[in-house]
Amino acid sequence: MFSDLPRCCHLLVVFQIALNLNVIGQADKQIRSVAARKRVIMSAPSDDGPDSELSKYAPKWARERPAVTNVQRQQHVNLNLPKEEHQDRRIRSLLPEPVAEPPARREDGLPALMGRFVNAAAIAALVAAFVLFGKPLLQRVGVLEPDSPPTQVSKPSSSVTANEAPANRALVPAAGIAAAPGAAPSATAQAQQAPLSPAQGQQAALSPISKPLGQESSVNSAFRGVTNSEIRFGISAPFTGAAKELGQNMKRGIEMAFNVANANGGVYGRQLRLIAADDGYEPARATATMKQLYEGDQVFGLVGNVGTPTAVVALPYALDRKMLFFGAFTGAGLLRNDPPDRYVFNYRASYAEETAAVVNYLVKVRRLLPEQIAVFAQQDAYGDSGFAGVEKAIRSLRGGNASPILRLNYQRNTVDVEDAVAQLQQYNAQLQQKRHFPLKAVIMVPAYRAAAKFIEKTRDLYPDMIYTSVSFVGSTALADELTLLGKRYATGVIVTQVVPAVDGHSSLVLEYKSALAKYFPGDAPDFVSLEGYVDATVLIAALQRNGAQLDTERLVGTFENLHDLDIGLGTPVTFSRSDHQGVHKVWGTQLDETGHYQPIDLQ
Quote the pLDDT of residue 398.
84
Residue range 253-282: average pLDDT?
Answer: 97
Read off the pLDDT band of 207 (50, 70, 90): very low
Share of the chain above pLDDT 90, in %: 60
Quote the pLDDT of residue 402.
74
Quote the pLDDT of residue 394.
94
Instruction: Look at the pTM and tell me if it is higher than 0.75.
Output: no
Contact 469, 493 (CB under 8 A): yes
DSSP 351-390: HHHHHHHHHHIIIIIS---GGGEEEEEESSHHHHHHHHHH
Q: Can you tell me the distance from the alpha carbon of 286 to that of 235, in angstroms, rounded to the nearest whole number? A: 11
Quote the pLDDT of residue 591.
96
CATH placement of domain 350-497+583-603: 3.40.50.2300
Comparing 317 with 435, the larger pLDDT belongs to 317
Read off the pLDDT band of 435 (50, 70, 90): confident
Q: Give start-end residues of each CATH 3.40.50.2300 domain in the chain.
A: 180-349+502-572, 350-497+583-603
pLDDT at 11 over 70: no
Q: Can you tell me the distance from the alpha carbon of 583 to that of 574, in angstroms, rounded to the nearest whole number? A: 7
CATH placement of domain 180-349+502-572: 3.40.50.2300
- Asked if the bond preceding 111 is cis, omega within 30° of 0, the reply is no
Comparing 155 with 102, the larger pLDDT belongs to 102
- Alpha-helix runs per DSSP H in 282-321: 283-291, 308-320
Q: Can you tell me the distance from the alpha carbon of 489 to that of 104, in angstroms, rounded to the nearest whole number? A: 114
pLDDT in tens, 367-385: 999 999 999 999 999 999 9
- Element of type H or E holding 83: helix 83-94
- Element of type H or E holding 589: strand 587-591
Buried b (16+ CB within 10 A) or exposed e, 478-487: bbbbbbeeee
